[in-house]
Amino acid sequence: MKAVIDFWGKHNFWASWLILGVGMVAILLWAGWQVGFTKQQWAALISVTVIVAGLAAWIISWESDDE
């Protein structure tokens, strides 16, 4: 647990991106499982979801830069 806390303290942006990305991809997979996407469509959706998670983490980091 100490390693996770140390990582979060040193790399707040990357940890936020990782957590948001994993959570958002999990929700995407759960919500779209029965839709019938092709492998290319899944790859595109997951890629865009990870990019959106990165943008969200970047926007969240703006608030922490002010302190």
Per residue in 40-60, pLDDT (tens digit) is 999 999 999 999 999 999 998
Domain around 41 = 2-65
pTM: 0.80
Cα 28-31-32 angle, rounded to 5 deg? 80
Region 22-41: mean pLDDT is 94
> CB pairs under 8 A, 24+ apart, for 4-12?
12/61, 12/64
Count of domains forming the chain:
1
